[in-house]
């Protein structure tokens, strides 16, 4: 509700802008000053119909405040003064088409609603009713129309599955440069030093001891000093290690 000693006066005569509670509180105050009984009512305005679940989704941002006016002989009459606002058409106008994001939200909300109704609030009669209703709906569904309605969700599921697989594929086919450098190092050691590298079993320092190669030891010191501390190689370090691999390890036994 509007707060402060002059909150409603500032809304009526100065800012002339505000949320629904400003319109409702000011309108009720003016009516009471004119001797007309009035009261504020809080609730929700609107809702998104969920075709899958067969219910209306009413969220917190749809909270609204309006006024009820008492008219002798008619009783309490609802009046929503927010309709007097210049942008009232944005609320009471025609609704835009449902976006894909909203469709996804309604899909997951329907699944959550079904789970809560059929499992969390365990009720055998309710479960039987859900099963009977689902069977009746399935009998009346045409395969073509059902596939057409589900096609956007199937495509979305395929896209999400593809996106989830991108990190794994990217890591496999496009490994970070530290890993590429280490692979090239292993191949060079095997070729120049004749030392078979058991990857994953032999560490860098152990490999350097096995080869007895000074340059292999130097590579291990630099690489392990960075990567084994959960850091990334700098450009200078990467170029230095790359040059060592290109030069080879034949002459420093």
Residues tagged active-site: 20, 64, 80
User: Quick check: 178 and 233 in contact, CB under 8 A?
Assistant: yes
Strand order in the sheet with 75-79: 38-44, 63-71, 75-79
Residue 29 to residue 37: CA distance in whole angstroms: 10
Residue 203 to residue 210: CA distance in whole angstroms: 10
User: Quick check: 232 and 178 in contact, CB under 8 A?
Assistant: yes
H or E element in which residue 75 lies: strand 75-79
192, with CB counted inside 10 A (0-12, 13-18, 19+), is: buried
The vertex-43 CA angle with 41 and 44, nearest 5°, equals 140
Compute the half-sphere exposure of residue 131: CA atoms within 13 Å on the CB side of its CA. Answer: 7
Residue 206 to residue 224: CA distance in whole angstroms: 12
What single-letter DSSP state applies at residue 16? Answer: -
Residue with tokens 């200078």: 236
81, with CB counted inside 10 A (0-12, 13-18, 19+), is: buried
Name residue 89's beta-bridge partners. none
């Amino acid at each position: 509700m509007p707060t402060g000693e002059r909150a409603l006066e500032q809304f009526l005569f100065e800012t002339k802008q505000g949320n629904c509670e400003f319109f409702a509180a000011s309108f009720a105050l003016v009516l009471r000053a004119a001797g007309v009984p009035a009261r504020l009512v809080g609730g929700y305005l609107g809702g998104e119909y969920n075709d899958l679940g067969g219910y209306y989704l009413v969220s917190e941002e749809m909270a609204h405040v309006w006024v009820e006016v008492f008219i002798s002989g008619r009783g309490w009459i609802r009046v929503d003064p927010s309709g007097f606002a210049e942008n009232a058409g944005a609320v009471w106008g025609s609704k835009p088409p449902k976006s894909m994001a909203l469709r996804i939200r309604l899909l997951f909300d329907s699944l959550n609603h079904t789970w809560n109704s059929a499992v969390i609030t365990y009720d055998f009669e309710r479960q039987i009713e859900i099963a009977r209703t689902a069977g009746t709906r399935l009998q009346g569904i045409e395969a073509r129309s059902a596939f057409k309605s589900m096609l956007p969700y199937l495509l979305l599921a395929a896209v999400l599955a593809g996106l989830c697989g991108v990190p794994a594929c990217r890591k496999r086919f496009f490994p970070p440069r530290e890993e590429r450098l280490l692979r090239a190092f292993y191949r060079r050691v095997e070729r120049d030093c004749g030392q078979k590298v058991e990857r994953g079993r032999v560490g860098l320092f152990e490999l350097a001891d096995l080869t007895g190669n000074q340059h292999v030891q130097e590579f291990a010191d630099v690489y392990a000093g960075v990567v084994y501390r959960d850091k990334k190689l700098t450009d200078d370090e990467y170029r230095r290690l790359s040059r060592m691999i290109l030069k080879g390890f034949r002459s420093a036994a």
